[in-house]
Structure 1
Amino acid sequence: MSPLDRKLARDLWHMKGQGLAIAVVMGLGVMMQVMMSGLVSSLDETRRGYYERYRLADAIAPVERAPDNVLHRLAALPGVGSVEGRTSGAALIDLPDRAVPLQAQALSLPYDGTPRLNAIRLEAGRLFERGHTDEAVLLDSFAIAHGLRPGDRLPATMNGARRVFRIVGLARAPEFLYSAAPGEMVPDDSRFGVLWLSPETMAAAYDMEGAFNQALIGFARGAREEAVLDAVDRALAPYGSTGAYGREDMFSNRFVSEEIDGLRDTARAIPPIFMAVAAFLLNIVIARMVQAEREEIGLLKAFGYRSAEIGAHYLKLVLAIALLGALLGCLAGIAAGRAMVQLYLQFFKFPFLVFRLEPAAFATGIAVSVLAATAGGAIVLRRIFALAPAEAMRPPTPPDYSGSGRWRGLMRLFDQPTRMVLRRFTRTPFRMAGAVVGITCGMALSVGMITIHAGFAQAIALSFDVMDRSEATVSFTHAVSDKTLFELARHPGITRVEGRRDVPVILRNGLQSHRGSITALPEGPELFRALTPDLHPIAMRGEGLVLSRALASKLKLEVGERMTVDVREGAQPVLSLPVLAISETLLGAPAYMSLAGLNRVLGEPGRVSGAALLIDEAEAAEVYAWLKGLPTVAGVTLKQEARDSFERIMNEGAGWSRFVMSAVAFVITFGIVYNAARIALAERSRDLASLRVIGFSRGEAAYVLLGELGLVTLLALPLGAGLGAAFAYLLATAYSSDLYTIPVVFHPATFGAAALVVIGGAVVSGLLVKRDVDRADLVTALKTVD
C-alpha cells in the first residue's frame, strides 16, 4: 500500500462519523430515485402485460339495446380488429351483516370464460355451467372483504327482481384494477362488487334475448381511435348509443394511468430536490476539508508528489464517501420499492406485481453522487495546486479585519465568548453563509413535507365536513319524479332530504374535452354544496355551469365563456352553456348546475336521480332496512364509509410515499445540521484547544462552537420557511391527481413543527459535538500536523 493510500485509510477512519453521515444523506436521495423510478416501471410494465394477456378492449360502446347481428357490421368497420357483445346491468347485493344494500355490476360472460375481449382471471373455484342459471363468478376483492367463498349463497336484486346465486368462482379482471361504485370516485372493496353470469341469466334478467347493451371494440393495427369511435357511434346510433369511448375514459384505466403518471411526475420532481440538497451538503464538506488540508497538500508537493497524484488521492476519498452513499441508496431503494409494491397490490387488483429495477435510476444516482462529490473539491484543489509548495504550506493570508472597529461599541455589550462567536460571522461571511444555506435547505424539506401532511388532512376535512354535510346519499335506478323526495322526507327517521340529479355528459371547449357528468343541485343547497375558492357557498341559479377549478383548468375556460355540453342520456341534446363560476373542489373534477335549470334545458321538469339525507341515528337501522326494499333505489352510500375509504386511498399508493419522503426529509435535515457542526469542529479544533489552555472552561469552549451552530440555525429558520413554502407548492402539484387535489395549507404550527425538527437536530448534533470537545486531547490538538 502506497503512503497516500495509507493516508487515505487514516483519513477515512478519522472522519468515519462525518463520512458516514454524508454517505447517508446522499444515499437517501439515491434511495428516492431508485424506489420511485422502479415503481413507475413496475406498474407500467405489469399493467401493459396484464392488458395484453387478458385482451382489455380498446373501446367500449354502450347502447340501450342492439340486436346481435349488429356485431357483424361493427366488425366490418375500418380500423376494427375484434368485437365482443355483452350485457351489463346494475345490481344490488343484500348481505345480512350490512345495514345498506351494496352496489354491484353484473356482466355476461361466455361459458368457456374466453371472450374475444375483456377476459377474466379465475382465482378460485370454477366457471358456471350450462343450465345452471343460479351460478355466478364474483369479484375476488369483494369476496375477500366479506369473507365469501365458492359455495356460499349471494342474494342480489337485478332489474327489480330478487335472485339468489351460488358463488362457484372468484375472479379478477383488467377492467377492474380500480373499482368503485357508480357515481363514486373512491374505491372500496367492501362496497362494490362485480358478478359474472351466463349469457342466458343476463338476457333473462335485463330483457336482452338476442341482443346486447355493450359492444367491446378491439382496434386493428394502425387504427386511428377517433375515426373508429365515430364510425362505431354512427353504426349504433339507431339503437340508443350513448357514445363510444376509449381506454383513456375507462374508469379503471383512467385512475390507474393517473396514479402512474402522478408517480412518474413525483419521481421526476422530488428525488432530484433531495439529491440536490444532499449534493450541496457534500460539496461544502469536501471543499472545506480540502481547504483545511492546505498545509498537508503543500508538504506532499514538497516531498515530490505531483498535483495529479495528490488530486487522485483526494478524489479517492471523495469517491469512497460518494460510492458508499450510492450503494446504501441503491440497496435501500430496492428494499423500499419492494415494500411499496405490496401496498400497490392492495391498492390495485393486479394478479402479481414484482418490483422492477430501473438501470437508469442506478446510473443517475451514482453519477449525481460522484459528480457532486468531485465538484466540491475541484475548485479548491485547483486554487491550491497553483501555489508553490512553500506558499501552500503556509496558513492562508488572514483576512483584513481593519473595518471591524465599527462594531467595537456593540461588541462591548457581550461577554468574550459571545464576541468570539459574532466575530466568526463578520470575518468569514461566505463560509457562514454556506452553513446557513445548508440548514435552510433542511428546514425547507421539513416545511414542505409537513405542509403536505396538513394539505391531505385539509382535503379530507373540506370534502366531508364542509362540502358534504349529509349522512347518506341515495341513488335511484333512473331519473324519477321529485315527488319521491316527499316520500323519503315523510318516512320516520329521515330528518332532511335534498334532491340532486347526475347526468352523464361530454364537456367540450374547442379541442379540449372531458367525459364526466353534471351534478345538478337545488338553488340553495345545504347538505351538498359547491364552494368558492374562499369557501363560501355558491348559489345554483340560471342555466349555466359551475366548474371545479381542476376541470376549468383542463378545459381552459374562464367565467363568462361558453362551452359545448354533449348530453349522453335520454334525447341526448347538444347544449351551449356559459360558465357562471369556478368552485373549489378537492375530490374529483365535477361540474355543477341548478337542478331546475338542468331539467329545463333537458325538457324534463321535476326529475331527480338521487338525494342527500340526514338521518336520526336512533332510527338509522329501520331507515336503511326500508331503503333496501324500495325498487327504485340503486344504492345507498354512507358518508362515513366513503370518508374511511378516501382516507385509506390517500394513505396508500403514491399518497403513502409522503410518509417515506417525510422520514427521508427529517433524516436529511438532521444530517445537514450534524455535518455543519462537525465541519465547524474540524475547522476550530486547534482554536478550542487554545482556549482551554489559556483558561477557558469546557463549557465556555463548547459555547464558542455551539453558539456558532445556534446562530447559524436561527438565521436559517426564516429563510427555510420561505423556501419551504415554494417547495410545498411543488409537492402539492406532484401529489394531486384527477381523484383528489391537495391544497397548500400554511398553519403557524407547520412552521413551528419544522423549526422544532431543525432545532432538535441542532441540539442533538451539539451534544454529540460537545462530547468530542470535552474529550479532546489538548496536546494532540495543538500539535502541528506534519
Structure 2
Amino acid sequence: MKGLSPLDIKLLRDIWHMRGQAIAVGIIVACGVAIMVMALGTLSTLSASRDAYYERYRFADVFTSVRRAPESAAARLRAIDGVQTIETRIVRLVILRIPDVEEPANAQIVSLPDTGESILNRIVLFSGRYPETRSPDEIIISNAFAEANGLQTGDAIEAVMNGRLRALTIVGIGDSPEFIYALGPGSLMPDDRLFGIFWMRRQALEAAFDLDGAFNSVSLTVAPGTDTALVIDQVDDVLAPYGGTGAIDRSDQLSNAFVESEMNQLKTMARIIPAVFLAVSAVLIHSILNRLIQTERQQIGLFKAFGYSRREITWHYLKFAIAITAGGVLAGFALGFILQNLITQLYAETFRIPDLTWRIDSFALFASALAALGSAIAGSMSAALGAAKLSPAEAMQPAPPVNYHQGWLRYILQMRWLDEPTRLILRHLFRFPARTAANLFGIAAAVALLVSTLFSFDAIDTIMEQMFFRTNAHDAAITFFEGRNDTALSELSRLPGVMSAEGVRDIPASLEAGHRSERVGITGLPADAQLRRILSADGRYVDIPSTGIVLSSQLADMLHVTTGDLVTAHFLDATRPVVDLPVTAVVDEFVGTPAFMDLQTMNALLDQPPTISGAYLKLDPLAQAAFEESVIERPGIAGVSLRAAAIDSFEETLQETIYIMMSIYAVIGGAIAAGVVYNAARISLTERGRELASLRVLGFTHHEVGYILLGELALVALVGIPIGCIGGIALAHLIATAMATELYRIPVVVNPSTLGVAAMIVLFSSTIAALFVVRRVRSLDLIAVLKTRE
C-alpha cells in the first residue's frame, strides 16, 4: 500500500485479523455515542423549537389569576416598573358533550380580543379563521383535541357555560405556546380526547359568565433586565383586593414546567447512561491490547531493533484503539440520528410545538466523539506504554510463564466431586484475576444498565397503584367555578349513582421556612376522609390532623423542614391570613408538591363558613351512565374528571413513550453483554488454542472442550449478574434522584421480576455471542495449532 508506513500496514492487518472483537467493541461504543447524540440532539431540538415558538407567538413572562377584577385595575398593572406588555383575559373551565364519547369532557375556554388577535400567547392557526365578533358562538379549538375527536371546521360541539347548554361552532383549529402540554382538571397526563383548549371572543365570554367590564386572568411580559420577582410582588399587591391567587413566573407555568422537566431528563440521560457504555469499552480495549501485545512481543523487539522509538510504538497501539473506537463513533452517529428522529416524533405527539423537526447538534457530536476517544485512550494507554518499555532483547524472548504457585485454590481443586474440566476452568479464572475482574465488570455493567432502566415499569405500577387506587379511592372528581357552601355537597349526593361524597378545598398559598419560600396549593380534606387519603413513606395511611399542616416529602425537602418544624403560611384567598403552622407529618406524593390540612381548620383560619371548591364522589358502577348524563348540566360545576378515563389516558400515553424507550434500552443493554462475552471468548480461544487442541488430542470430546471454554464465561456471568443487580439498584437511585423535579418524582421500586428479566436478557445475548465462538472449537486444526510456538 503506497504512502503507508510498515506500522500502518500492520495496524490494518491487526484490525482485520481481530475484526470480530473490533466489531464487538465498536457496537458498545456506538450504543454509548448513540444515546448521547439522541439525548442531546433531542434536547437541542426541543429547546430551539420551543424558544422559537415562544418568541414568534409572544409567550408571556408572568401569569396570574383573580376572582373578578375590573378592567380599571389593568391600568395600575401597566404602571408597574418593568412591565412591558399586559393582556387581561377571561379564562373558564366548561363541560362538553362530544358525539360518540360517553364520558363528560372538559375544555378550558380562553377569551380573544373582540377584534384581531391576542397580544400575548397568540394562536398559530392551522386551518379556518378567527371567530367573528358578531357571532358569539364561534370558537377556535386546539389541534390535538380536534385530531383526537375527528373534529373539523364547521362542526358543532355542545358546552355547558354557566349552567346553560350552548352549541358552539368550530371555525378554526390552532394551538398556542401557553398550552404545549395541556392538562385537564385532576389529570396526570394529557388526554386529548377528553380535554381541549377553546378560544372565543371576549364579548361573548363576558356575557356568558357575567363578567362585563371585568377579567379573571392576566398575562404580561417584562422588559429585559427587569427583576421578575419584584414585578410579581407588585402584581400581587394590585390584585389582592380582587381575589388574586398569586402571580407566577414563566418557569412555574404548568405547560412550560413540564417541557423543562422533560428537557432535564434528557440532560440526565446524556450524563449517566453513556458513561456506562464507554467505561465497558475502555475495559474491553485494555483486554484486547494486552493480549495483542503479549502475542506480538517478538515483533515489538524487531521494531525496536530497526530503530522505531518508544513514541512511535506507543502511538501505533493507541491508533489501534482509536481506529476501532472511531468506527463505533461513526456508527453511533448514524444510530443516534435514527433514535433521535424516533424520539422527536414521540415528543411531537406529546408536546404540541409547530415545526418540531430534529436538528443535528454539533456539540453532541463533538462531546460524544471526544468522550468515546478519551475512554479508548484511557483504556489503552497503560498497555501501549508497557509495549513501548520492552527492550529488544526482552521482547524477542517469550513472555515469562505464569507463576502457578500453590495457594488456597488447591484446596478447592482437590475436591473429589470436581471433574477435570471444571478444575481447569477454576484454575484459569483465578490465575488471571485482572482479566476475570474485567469480564465481571462488563457483565455487571450490562445488568446494571438494564435494571436501572427497566425499573421504570415497576415505578409506573407503583405510581398507578398509589395515585389511582390507594390515595384516590373516588370514581369522579368535581371542580366548582367558585367556592360553594356545604349544601353543594348534599346536592351532589342526590345525583343518580352517587354512593358517597366528600368535599375538598384547594387554596393557593406561599409557605415560608427561614429564607426559603415556595408557592403551593394547600388541600383541605375532611378529618375522616376516605375518598382522598395520604400515605406515609412506609405506606401507612396518615390521618389529617386537626391542627398543623402535612407536607409532601418533596416540598419538605425544598423548604428544609421536617416533622415538628414551623412553617409560615400566607393564604392567597378570602381574608388572606398569615399563620404559623407546625409540620405534623411528611408524606409520599409522586406528583407535584402538595400540602394538606383539615378542611374545618382551613375554613376557620380563612374566617369563612364551611366552604368547598370541589368534591370526590364514589359511584355505583351500574348507574355511572346516569350520573354522567345528569352531572353535565349542573350549575356551578366547572369540570368533571373520571378515574377510569384518567387510568386509560395514563396507560395509553405510557405505551407510546416509556415502553418504546425501555425497549431501546433493553436491546442496547443486551449489546453490552454480547460484546463482553464475545470479546472474552475470543481472547480465551486465542490464548488457549494450543491447550484446547492438546485436550482434543488427549481424548477430550468437542462438548468437553466447549464446556471448558464456555464454563469460564458462564461462571463469570453467574457471579456478575447479582453484582449487576445491586449496581443497577444503586444506579436507579442515582437516576431517580437526578430526574426528580417539583412536578413529579420517580419511586425507586425494583421487583424481583425486573431483576429476572434483566438477567435473562444478559444470559440470552451472552449465549448467542458465545455460540459464535464455540463454532470455532469444532474447526480447530489440531496439527496446525500444536505446531504453533507458544
Q: TM-score range with shorter-chain normalisation?
A: over 0.9
1:402 alignment partner, SS class: coil
Contact 2:450 2:666 survives alignment (8 Å): yes
Contact 2:61 2:250 survives alignment (8 Å): yes
CA deviations 1:275-303 (Å, max 9, x no partner) are 32333333333333333333332344345
Contact 1:109 1:196 survives alignment (8 Å): yes
2:534 alignment partner, SS class: coil
In terms of mean alpha carbon deviation, does 1-10 or 581-590 score higher? 1-10
Distance 2:542 2:329 in 1: 53
Deviation at 1:658, TM superposition (A): 3.8
Counterparts of 1:355-754 in structure 2, within 5 Å, are 355-404=358-407, 407=410, 410-413=413-416, 414-651=418-655, 657-754=661-758
Distance 2:35 2:750 in 1: 25
Structure 1 unaligned segments of length 5 or more: list them.
Answer: none
| Aligned equivalent of 1:289, options 288, 292, 300 | 292
Deviation at 1:90, TM superposition (A): 2.5
**What is aligned with 2:213?**
210
| Aligned equivalent of 1:221, options 219, 224, 246 | 224
**What is aligned with 2:29?**
26
Distance 1:87 1:566 in 2: 26
Structure 2 residue 20 is matched with structure 1 residue 17? yes
Distance 1:490 1:65 in 2: 31
Contact 1:505 1:516 survives alignment (8 Å): yes
Deviation at 1:564, TM superposition (A): 2.0
Contact 1:185 1:588 survives alignment (8 Å): no
Distance 1:707 1:309 in 2: 39
Give the TM-score of the pair, scaled to structure 1: 0.95
1:403 alignment partner, SS class: coil
Go from structure 1 to structure 2 and tell me whether the alpha carbon gap of 1:44 and 1:132 turns closer, same or farther (over 3 Å shift). Answer: same
Q: Return the letter of the residue paired with 2:642.
A: L
Q: Return the letter of the residue paired with 2:207.
A: A
Deviation at 1:339, TM superposition (A): 1.1
Structure 2 residue 98 is matched with structure 1 residue 98? no
Deviation at 1:49, TM superposition (A): 1.1
**What is aligned with 1:143?**
146
Q: Return the letter of the residue paired with 1:402.
A: H
Contact 2:450 2:665 survives alignment (8 Å): no
Deviation at 1:408, TM superposition (A): 5.5
Deviation at 1:304, TM superposition (A): 4.9
Structure 2 residue 58 is matched with structure 1 residue 55? yes
Contact 1:678 1:769 survives alignment (8 Å): yes
Deviation at 1:174, TM superposition (A): 0.4
Contact 2:478 2:616 survives alignment (8 Å): yes
Distance 1:689 1:361 in 2: 48
Distance 1:715 1:703 in 2: 17
Q: Return the letter of the residue paired with 2:679.
A: N
CA deviations 1:5-29 (Å, max 9, x no partner) are 4433332222222211110111100
| Aligned equivalent of 2:770, options 755, 766, 786 | 766
CA deviations 1:576-628 (Å, max 9, x no partner) are 22211111112322212222222222223432222222222221111111111
Distance 2:289 2:647 in 1: 50
Distance 2:756 2:541 in 1: 32
1:283 alignment partner, SS class: helix
Structure 2 residue 70 is matched with structure 1 residue 67? yes
Contact 2:95 2:640 survives alignment (8 Å): no
1:380 alignment partner, SS class: helix
Go from structure 1 to structure 2 and tell me whether the alpha carbon gap of 1:626 and 1:298 turns closer, same or farther (over 3 Å shift). Answer: same
Distance 1:93 1:491 in 2: 19
Distance 1:430 1:511 in 2: 53
Distance 1:523 1:516 in 2: 21
Distance 1:450 1:686 in 2: 43
Distance 1:406 1:224 in 2: 71
Contact 2:563 2:586 survives alignment (8 Å): yes
Go from structure 1 to structure 2 and tell me whether the alpha carbon gap of 1:704 and 1:237 turns closer, same or farther (over 3 Å shift). Answer: closer
In terms of mean alpha carbon deviation, does 649-658 or 761-770 score higher? 649-658
Aligned residues: 786
Deviation at 1:102, TM superposition (A): 2.0
CA deviations 1:719-743 (Å, max 9, x no partner) are 2222222111112224444443221
CA deviations 1:199-229 (Å, max 9, x no partner) are 2112212233333332322101211111112
Contact 1:530 1:538 survives alignment (8 Å): yes
**What is aligned with 1:172?**
175
Deviation at 1:480, TM superposition (A): 2.1
Distance 2:131 2:615 in 1: 37
In terms of mean alpha carbon deviation, does 675-684 or 24-33 score higher? 675-684
Structure 2 residue 243 is matched with structure 1 residue 240? yes
What's the Cα RMSD here?
2.3
Deviation at 1:532, TM superposition (A): 0.8
| Aligned equivalent of 1:340, options 335, 343, 348 | 343
Distance 1:408 1:73 in 2: 90
Give the TM-score of the pair, scaled to structure 2: 0.94
Q: Return the letter of the residue paired with 1:357.
A: I
Distance 1:372 1:248 in 2: 37
